[in-house]
Amino acid sequence: MTVKSAQPAQGPVVVVTGASQGIGAAIAECFANRIPGARLALVATNPKHLGAIAERCRQAGAEVEALPADLNDNVQVERMAAEVHGRFGHVDVLINNAGRWRGGAAHEMQVSEFLQVLQDNLVSMFAVTRAFLAAMLARGSGDIFLMSSTSGLTGLANNAAYCAAKHGVAGFSKALRAEVASRGIRVCCVYPGPTESPSWAGTGVDLEKLMSAADIANVFVDAYQMSRRSVMEDVILRPLASMQGV
């Protein structure tokens, strides 16, 4: 008698934007390593870096589709969402991580620069959410994560545009949660403080005093794994060193 080997159970379909480095890459790898059968759609602008992260996730056992896209281009956003649905059929988890920091004093920043920061960190997040939301509502299930920042909780000098954008993400998450909670969709907004990433290169900042990207990533998986009876609404994370005055 021939015994057929059991096929691995299919895990959730997880879309991660900004997945080529930093927190986004850590989130992708965390789902690949912790969730058996995870199916990942990884999105970022840099194909080379994205491909490297995708391969690491495949080696961990995940099924992966790498999708280079400029999320500031609505046509590319819609095309990316169509490709994800065409490949996987549906999306269980949407992680809106992509964003870009840009500082500058309010009196020195041009209006066009301010608008670009809002586009990079808020408008594109709305566009990506919109591209997947209708299908989630039709299925009556899903998890949406939005990446804000501790800059979305307070005001920082020379960061007017970024603070405005991340406050906007916080407001968007609250409004979205109120709209979709009764329809089986959980919305979680995450507010990380300074976290290790390639963006700190050359700044002289001691990376040992920053949070680990892997620690942030584990929060996303933990929130997803909670029973559907509960929702983790807001998560604030700060480097312990910043609270110890060092």
Residue range 9-67, pLDDT digits in tens: 689 999 999 999 999 999 999 999 999 999 999 999 999 999 999 999 999 999 999 99
Query: Annotated catalytic sites, by residue?
Result: 162
Global pTM reads: 0.92
Over residues 100-122, mean pLDDT: 91
Cα gap 198→119, rounded to integer Å: 22
Cα gap 184→181, rounded to integer Å: 6
| Structural domain span for residue 36 | 13-197+207-243
Looking up residue 138, the CATH number of its domain turns out to be 3.40.50.720
pLDDT value, residue 202 = 67
- Tokens representing 138? 């039709």
In this prediction, residue 2 has a pLDDT band, given cuts at 50, 70 and 90, of: very low
Cα gap 169→174, rounded to integer Å: 9
Tokens 């970022």, residue located = 44
Per the structure, how many domains does the chain have? 1
pLDDT tops 50 at residue 5: no
Does some domain include residue 117? Answer: yes
pLDDT value, residue 3 = 45
Please, where are the H alpha helices in the chain? 22-34, 47-59, 74-88, 111-118, 124-139, 160-180, 213-225, 240-243
Over residues 209-221, mean pLDDT: 94
pLDDT value, residue 38 = 97
Residue range 217-238, pLDDT digits in tens: 999 999 999 999 999 999 999 9
Other CB atoms within 10 Å distance of the CB of residue 231 = 14
Does some domain include residue 6? Answer: no
Does some domain include residue 2? Answer: no
pLDDT tops 80 at residue 116: yes
Cα gap 6→86, rounded to integer Å: 26
